[in-house]
Structure 1
């Protein structure tokens, strides 16, 4: 249990620190400035406050509904997922690392919502031509990496059976 708590905790603390630091830098260096672009717009930095979920989903919902979903329900999910991750004795180190990534991204974006009037600082965008990602942040990358690792491990476990 100590090893699991340490792995999830250290992963979360490092990931949250990196996310909050990059959001601070984005606010300091991108807010009110021109978009920065590299490699023919493959990688773009631009400041944005996202009041929705991933890729802006739900941003047009009434404020009270958005707050209930993106702060209230997300808080309940994160607390439940934390309890699950810490109590499940069958998870290996990779799964614990993945849970730490999901939790850190979720808690870091939740912190943003609480401190930024319901919005999350986003600043990265990637793509080729019209095929682009939405604007995202490091917390979003942590969540996606954690979910990806959990799905890959789940698939590998199913194949072994």
Structure 2
């Protein structure tokens, strides 16, 4: 049994260190990608405040397909280059969006979302998935959040 209880008062770098450590502990040695994504989505939702969606989109056949997540029902398929997730996957670049309604081509899967952080998971130089975090708060995410989720994406590259 795993019991990861984050301290809400931790500085962000330490919170992300603990999140990555928890994800390492729960995914280490587990070969099933879906199980690993499901547990990591649950951990992100537990560790990170002010989220309304946390999860994955997998790159399948040239488009993003919904993977395990915590939150309200979501868009199932996203073309590369469209929306925040499709842009992150298409460009292989983290997307930190303070106001999703100002993002050109934003795909509104949940009207409550106001800011978003999407980080590509890259294996062997190829995007295999993206980690997607949504918040109902404007400008919820900053460079420390991006750096923390990028470390998580690096850890998961060979586990999902």
TM-score, normalising length from structure 1? 0.29
User: Which protein is richer in helix relative to its size?
Assistant: 1
User: Which protein is richer in strand relative to its size?
Assistant: 2
Q: Which has the larger radius of gyration?
A: 1
Q: Greater RCO between the two (CA within 8 Å, min separation 6)?
A: 1
TM-score, normalising length from structure 2? 0.29
